Structure formats: structure tokens, C-alpha cells
């Protein structure tokens, strides 16, 4: 029983393309997050949604657009991909304090 | 602003030896403190957390951490490491009743036989 799942696990694409990463959690949590982990393994929050409402929106290019169709899903759409977008993207969810992370999506932009 | 410093980028330890990973935080009030572990190719798993109360916190996989307010530290320890403990370890701090965690840069632990 996967708690937080992400698809795809790997994503290789060309510069300028548009791509989406999907995230689903079956924990019944109210809050979901997107994090970016760069090549030096530094982990930084990008967005957070609580009950489908955006509550955290860090300094992220507006090419990145999160969408939460319901409490269990938080998708990340990226327009006009750039080389610097190459990273591992983690989805997470939480109820009160502990955040549960998905397995990550490794995005490679060529 | 909250921040976390993990001074050690990489630690190598022999199997069976003890391990201590350092974490220093900067936060204006009482923080929530966490240690996460990331095995190669995996997501992050919570090892332990501190909110209040006893400053020595027990976690999973035989790990413990001690909160020292005077030193703004939350160091992680394990008395005897196993080869499976080779991973990336992240310390994180968050304000009470908020959702925003700040992570340290991580410490890579290598276990030699």
C-alpha cells in the first residue's frame, strides 16, 4: 500500500517542452507539498496546498504551476522546460506535523 | 528566518562503530525538529522528531537525537551502525503550527566493512 505515489519515476525531455508530474496520497492528509532536490541534494520547498488551497508559494518561476483537483492529488505542470529544471522532484503530504514523502521523480532536461 | 546547518558533508564510519551527525538550527522560538533519511534512489523517511518534553528523542532503526536549546543543536546518534545505514541524512526545522520545513544540506554517511 503506497502512501504517497508519484508518476513518472523518471522523465527525460528536451528543452522547451511542457511536462507534468502527478502525485497522489492515500493517507487522508489535508496538506500536500512539492519539493525540488538539486544535484547537490539540497531540498527546497516549492509549493504547499491545504485542502486544495495554495498556502505556500516560494520563489519559483511561473513556468511551474501546481494543480490540486482534490485533497488526495497535487500535480506539478512545468512549461518551457530549461536545463536548470533538471532535478529530483518530491511530493509530500502531512496531517499535522510529520511529512510523508513520495519516491521522487527524476527530471532530466536535455 | 529559520535555517539549518549540517556541518559535515560526508562521514565515513566502520560497521559496528558509533555515529553522530551534527545539526544546528536558527529559529526565533521553539521549533519543531526532524531527522530524515534518504536511501539511494528513495524518498525521505522520518527517523525521529522533537516538539517538546524530553530532550532525548528515540526514533526508528536504533537512532536517537538530543535537543540542546543552549547550543541550538539537534544531533543524531546511533551506537552501532549497520551497512544498511549508508544513506543521506537530513535535519529539518519548522515553526510550530506551520507547514514550512527548512532542510539542511544533508550529510552523506558511508559505512565500510
Q: Do B88 and A41 touch (CB under 8 A)?
A: yes
Q: Is there a contact between B49 and A98 if contact means CB atoms under 8 Å apart?
A: yes
Residue in B93, B98, B101 to test binding to A, most A beta-carbons within 10 Å: B101
Say what the alpha-carbon torsion angle A102, A104, A105, A109 is, to the nearest 10 degrees. Answer: 150
Q: Is the pLDDT of residue B1 over 80?
A: no
Tell me the pLDDT tens digit for each residue of B92-109: 998 766 667 889 999 999
What residue of A is the nearest CA neighbor of B6? A42
Asked if A42 and B105 come within 8 Å (Cβ–Cβ), the reply is: yes
Measure CA A6 to chain center: 8
The answer to whether the bond into A8 is cis (omega within 30° of 0) is yes
CA distance A51 to A32: 9
Q: What is the pLDDT of residue B51?
A: 87
pLDDT > 70: percent of chain B: 96
* B38 or B27: which leads in pLDDT: B38
Query: Given a cut of 70, is residue B19 above it in pLDDT?
Result: yes
User: Does B49 contact chain A (CB < 8 Å)?
Assistant: yes
Q: What is the pLDDT of residue B97?
A: 62
Q: Can you read off the three cell numbers belonging to residue A86? A: 533538471
Q: Does A99 touch chain B (CB under 8 A)?
A: yes
Q: What is the mean pLDDT of chain B?
A: 92
Average pLDDT of the segment spanning B23-40: 89
Say how many CA atoms lie within 13 Å of B90 toward its Cβ: 22
Residue B90 has pLDDT above 70, yes or no: yes
A48 touches chain B (CB under 8 A): yes
pLDDT tens string, chain A, 110 residues long: the values are 669 999 999 999 999 999 999 999 999 999 999 999 999 889 999 999 888 888 888 878 999 999 999 999 999 999 999 999 999 999 999 987 788 999 999 999 99
Q: For residue B57, count other CB atoms closer than 10 A to its CB.
A: 20
pLDDT computed for residue B100 by the predictor = 79
Instruction: List pLDDT tens digits, range A39-69.
Output: 988 999 999 988 888 888 887 899 999 999 9
Task: Tell which residue, A30, A21, A64, A19, has the closest CA to residue A46.
Answer: A64
- The pLDDT of B73-83, averaged and rounded, is 97
Residue A4 pLDDT: 95
A34–chain B Cβ distance below 8 A for any pair: no
Amino acid at each position: 500500500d503506497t502512501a504517497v505515489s508519484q508518476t513518472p519515476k523518471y522523465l527525460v525531455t528536451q528543452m522547451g517542452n511542457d511536462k507534468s508530474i502527478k502525485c497522489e496520497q492515500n493517507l487522508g492528509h489535508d496538506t500536500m507539498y512539492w519539493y525540488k532536490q538539486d544535484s547537490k541534494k539540497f531540498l527546497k520547498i516549492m509549493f504547499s496546498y491545504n485542502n486544495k488551497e495554495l498556502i505556500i508559494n516560494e520563489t519559483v518561476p511561473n513556468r511551474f504551476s501546481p494543480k490540486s483537483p482534490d485533497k488526495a492529488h497535487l500535480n506539478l505542470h512545468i512549461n518551457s522546460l530549461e536545463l536548470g529544471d533538471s532535478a529530483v522532484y518530491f511530493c509530500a503530504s502531512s496531517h499535522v506535523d510529520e511529512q510523508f514523502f513520495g519516491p521522487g521523480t527524476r527530471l532530466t532536461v536535455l | 528566518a529559520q535555517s539549518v546547518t549540517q556541518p559535515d558533508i560526508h562521514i565515513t564510519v566502520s560497521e559496528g562503530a558509533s555515529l553522530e551527525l551534527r545539526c544546528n538550527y536558527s529559529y526565533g522560538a521553539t521549533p519543531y525538529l526532524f531527522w530524515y533519511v534518504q536511501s539511494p534512489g528513495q524518498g525521505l523517511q522520518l527517523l525521529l522528531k522533537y516538539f517538546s518534553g524530553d530532550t532525548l528523542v528515540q526514533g526508528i532503526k536504533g537512532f536517537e537525537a538530543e535537543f540542546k536549546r543552549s547550543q541550538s543543536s539537534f544531533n543524531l546518534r546511533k551506537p552501532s551502525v549497520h551497512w544498511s545505514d549508508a544513506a543521506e541524512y537530513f535535519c529539518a526545522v519548522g515553526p510550530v503550527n506551520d507547514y514550512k520545513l527548512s532542510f539542511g544540506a544533508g550529510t552523506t554517511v558511508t559505512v565500510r566493512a
